[in-house]
Homo-oligomer: A and B are copies of this chain.
């Protein structure tokens, strides 16, 4: 590895899996590479479990980042922004920073206000589960997934190289995107899917009928799965990607209204075309997903 001392801030599903994946890479790489991980974690219970990942565990951000070559911020998005704001006081000498937050424009804008002794790059691993916390962390969470990197005007060539090496250790595929384009795209494939799944769950839970769950099938199960996502994480995502999310909801509502009118009017031909084109788009998506990416 180009660097040795990493500080992971936030040992949840993503930060924990990141640490476990690096430990796995360290054990299996030839030649082996030195790796020293400090974990900053505010939850006492999680701190007790951190030894699978950490050489040093602390609750104190300033102490944790003190000797790190690279600080990896893996908390909810608005905490990442607050930590970026206090980082110059906590570590006046500067260091490198990568974050793993799910929205990128506000984070990257904050990174660009760091003093010149800092190098920073935005990161977003496109994987996740409807379970949260270090207990759900697994070293293969990133395997074969896309890891988005959002360079900023604080991204040095060295940090760029290190970020690509880390993504390689996670066995993910890197993809460079501009932060605002990233946010528009994840609004479409991640934040809107969460909201429509959550609204579906709220809608079904409102029907007071004991026999509703026994008759629900795999269709409901899959469509509602991401409604179980960690609310603290989602809160920050929705508030920091507000414009793109609202735009997607509005476009979505228009489409849903349009198809409801086809049903209302029993417009059989147009409704069938809508259903058929949907299935075609689903098949095209499946085909694209099964084609290996660069």
Binding site for B on A (CB under 8 A): 126-130, 145-146, 148, 173, 175, 177, 185-186, 188-190, 192-207, 209, 211-232, 234-235, 238-239, 242, 245-246, 248-253, 255-257, 259-260, 263-264, 266, 268, 271-272, 274-279, 281-286, 288-289, 293
Q: Which of B129, B199, B200, B289 contacts A213 (CB 8 A)?
A: B289
A231 in contact with B279 (CB, 8 Å) = yes
Given the complex of chains A and B, what is the CA–CA distance between A283 and B146 in angstroms? 28
B203 in contact with A252 (CB, 8 Å) = yes
Given A214-B175, A293-B214, verify A193-B200 contact (CB < 8 Å): yes
Given the complex of chains A and B, what is the CA–CA distance between A266 and B242 in angstroms? 8
Q: Which of B216, B242, B274, B286 contacts A189 (CB 8 A)?
A: B216
Given the complex of chains A and B, what is the CA–CA distance between A102 and B232 in angstroms? 38
CB proximity of A86 to chain B, nearest CB, Å = 21
B223 in contact with A222 (CB, 8 Å) = yes
Please name all residues of chain B whose beta carbon is closer than 8 Å to the beta carbon of A222 when the two chains form the complex. 222-223, 225-226
A130 in contact with B230 (CB, 8 Å) = no
Determine which residue in A175, A215, A231 has the highest number of CB atoms from chain B within 10 A of its CB, and name it.
A215
Given the complex of chains A and B, what is the CA–CA distance between A248 and B217 in angstroms? 18
Please name all residues of chain B whose beta carbon is closer than 8 Å to the beta carbon of A259 when the two chains form the complex. 195, 198-199
Taking CB as reference atom, which chain B residue is nearest A286? B228
B200 in contact with A185 (CB, 8 Å) = no
Given A271-B235, A285-B224, verify A202-B277 contact (CB < 8 Å): yes
In the complex, besides A128-B217, A175-B214, A227-B278, 5 extra interface pairs with C-beta distance below 8 angstroms are A193-B200, A197-B219, A198-B259, A202-B255, A213-B285
B230 in contact with A279 (CB, 8 Å) = yes
B264 in contact with A211 (CB, 8 Å) = no
A189 in contact with B215 (CB, 8 Å) = yes
B199 in contact with A252 (CB, 8 Å) = yes
Please name all residues of chain B whose beta carbon is closer than 8 Å to the beta carbon of A199 when the two chains form the complex. 196, 252, 255-256, 259
Q: Which of B218, B245, B266, B282 contacts A228 (CB 8 A)?
A: B282
A263 in contact with B282 (CB, 8 Å) = no
Please name all residues of chain B whose beta carbon is closer than 8 Å to the beta carbon of A255 when the two chains form the complex. 199, 202-203
Taking CB as reference atom, which chain B residue is nearest A294? B214
